[in-house]
């Protein structure tokens, strides 16, 4: 197993009986919206999705943008990009700024109705003459088409900005409804690489609406408090992969040991099928276990989830 991934975590999981506030990051809110079941598996049962590879080039761009805007933060001067777009604002100077931008720290707010500590690490914050904070997010890509926020999958970017706006408002600041994406697009139309990447930089405004967040946090709390697996997402590539790999492994294992090995598709069903099918799968496993006199655990470690 990769040193970067623990398939079954046992610490920092949600317990319905705990009175300690529970940390919920902006990305976990997004995970819940995408699929409550995956969220529950991750935060309550300790089985999270494997992480992707780090986007090193994107991180490098973020780091350089931060350095660049920090120069203007120190001088309280307008960045040329903002001048180009006619935006009267300067980078916000605040003693917490570095912490607010740091992963695993970020802006933190204790949401008392749910006892969640909601966190989110912002890329940047600017301030306008009306003393409103402006949330800023850096994005980098490389494509021939003009960058926009119009693709359906970019809803996650918009929610991300809305969570940051909500966190700052809850922390007592006046926040502009309009945030900005500093979107940099790597050029592939040049004659050669010559040891450097060049980018077109675009400032894209977005009018945020954080009205969905309170309701979502309460739904997340209900989800985590329940002793039943929530429904899976409707269209999920991860689920399709898990189902297909379970089926293939089941077929292969069945062949190699004469069809008597534990049914991996049944195990997969325990984790993923709707509750009724999962109960049936559990029954099949129990029968197999009894027949073989086996004491091995086959997913019964969470009986209340299926009971």
Which residues of the chain form contacts with ligand SF4 (CB under 6 A)?
35, 37-38, 232-233, 236, 238-239, 242, 272
CA 50 from centroid of its chain's CA atoms: 12
- Considering the complex, state which of residue 50 and residue 259 has its C-beta at the smaller distance from ligand SF4: 50
Query: For residues 264, 266, 270 and 274, what is the CA-based torsion angle, rounded to 10 degrees?
Result: 130
Instruction: Classify residue 65 as exposed, middle or buried by CB count within 10 Å of its CB (0-12, 13-18, 19+).
Output: buried
Spatial separation of the C-alpha atoms in residues 100 and 136, rounded to whole Å:
12
- Considering the complex, state which of residue 25 and residue 185 has its C-beta at the smaller distance from ligand SF4: 25
- Considering the complex, state which of residue 147 and residue 266 has its C-beta at the smaller distance from ligand SF4: 266
Q: Shortest approach of ligand SF4 to residue 97 CB, angstroms?
A: 34
- Considering the complex, state which of residue 222 and residue 240 has its C-beta at the smaller distance from ligand SF4: 240
Q: Shortest approach of ligand SF4 to residue 234 CB, angstroms?
A: 8
Q: Shortest approach of ligand SF4 to residue 68 CB, angstroms?
A: 37
Token look-up 């969220």 returns: 39
Q: Shortest approach of ligand SF4 to residue 237 CB, angstroms?
A: 7
Q: Shortest approach of ligand SF4 to residue 18 CB, angstroms?
A: 24
- Considering the complex, state which of residue 204 and residue 226 has its C-beta at the smaller distance from ligand SF4: 226
Asked whether the beta carbons of 13 and 224 are under 8 A apart, the reply is no
Spatial separation of the C-alpha atoms in residues 28 and 14, rounded to whole Å:
13
Spatial separation of the C-alpha atoms in residues 239 and 247, rounded to whole Å:
12
Q: Shortest approach of ligand SF4 to residue 240 CB, angstroms?
A: 8
CA distance to 17, 252, 267, 283, per residue, from 264 (Å): 33, 10, 5, 14
- Considering the complex, state which of residue 38 and residue 136 has its C-beta at the smaller distance from ligand SF4: 38
């Amino acid at each position: 197993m990769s040193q970067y991934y623990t398939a079954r975590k046992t610490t920092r999981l949600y317990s319905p009986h705990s009175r300690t506030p529970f940390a919920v990051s902006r990305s976990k809110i997004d995970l819940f919206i995408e699929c409550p079941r995956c969220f529950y598996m991750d935060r309550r049962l300790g089985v999270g999705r494997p992480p992707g590879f780090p986007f090193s080039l994107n991180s490098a761009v973020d780091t350089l943008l931060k350095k660049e805007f920090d120069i203007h933060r120190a001088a309280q001067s307008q960045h040329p990009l903002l001048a180009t777009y006619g935006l009267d604002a300067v980078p916000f100077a605040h003693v917490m700024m570095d912490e607010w931008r740091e992963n695993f720290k970020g802006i933190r707010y204790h949401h008392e109705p749910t006892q969640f500590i909601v966190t989110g690490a912002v890329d940047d914050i600017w301030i306008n003459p009306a003393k409103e904070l402006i949330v800023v997010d850096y994005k980098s890509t490389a494509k021939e088409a003009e960058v926009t926020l119009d693709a359906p999958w970019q809803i996650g970017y918009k929610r991300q900005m809305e969570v940051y706006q909500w966190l700052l408002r809850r922390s007592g600041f006046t926040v502009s409804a309009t945030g900005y994406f500093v979107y940099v697009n790597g050029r592939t139309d040049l004659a050669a690489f010559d040891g450097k990447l060049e980018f077109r930089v675009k400032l894209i405004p977005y009018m945020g609406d954080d009205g969905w967040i309170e309701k979502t946090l309460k739904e997340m709390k209900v989800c985590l408090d329940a002793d039943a697996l929530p429904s899976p997402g409707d269209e999920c590539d991860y689920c399709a992969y898990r189902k297909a790999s379970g089926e293939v492994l089941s077929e292969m294992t069945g062949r190699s040991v004469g069809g008597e090995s534990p049914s991996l598709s049944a195990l997969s069903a325990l984790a993923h099928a709707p509750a009724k099918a999962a109960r049936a799968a559990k029954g099949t496993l129990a029968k197999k276990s009894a027949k073989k006199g086996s004491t091995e655990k086959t997913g019964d470690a969470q009986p209340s989830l299926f009971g």
